[in-house]
Amino acid sequence: MTECTNPQTVISVEEILRTEIIINQALIDILIAKQVITEEELVKRIKNIKRDQQKMLNDSNKIVSLKK
């Protein structure tokens, strides 16, 4: 059985990502404007997150031996 979808309800991945970027930028702008976080703190945190994600990715590519 196939499901019928209304073409108007289909959203492209590109549009979803664009919306996420706009929302994230608005939130960042608000946090900086209200002095909740500085741009320097934000940049540092982004670098830390990228480093942690890369480490997890590198760890996930390792082969684990099952020999006892």
Residues 1-16 have pLDDT tens digits of: 556 667 677 889 999 9
Residues 49-66 have pLDDT tens digits of: 999 999 988 888 776 666
Residue 68 lies in a domain: no
Residue 45 lies in a domain: yes
Number of domains in the chain: 1
Residue 1 lies in a domain: no
Residue 25 lies in a domain: yes
Average pLDDT over residues 27-31: 96
Strand residue runs (E) in 1-68:
none
Residue 66 lies in a domain: no
Mean of pLDDT over the chain = 87
Are 31 and 37 a contacting pair, CB within 8 Å?
yes
Q: What is the pLDDT of residue 68?
A: 60
What domain range includes position 37? Answer: 12-59
Residue 3 lies in a domain: no
d(CA 57, CA 62): 9
Residue 18 lies in a domain: yes
Q: What is the pLDDT of residue 14?
A: 95
Q: What is the pLDDT of residue 1?
A: 53
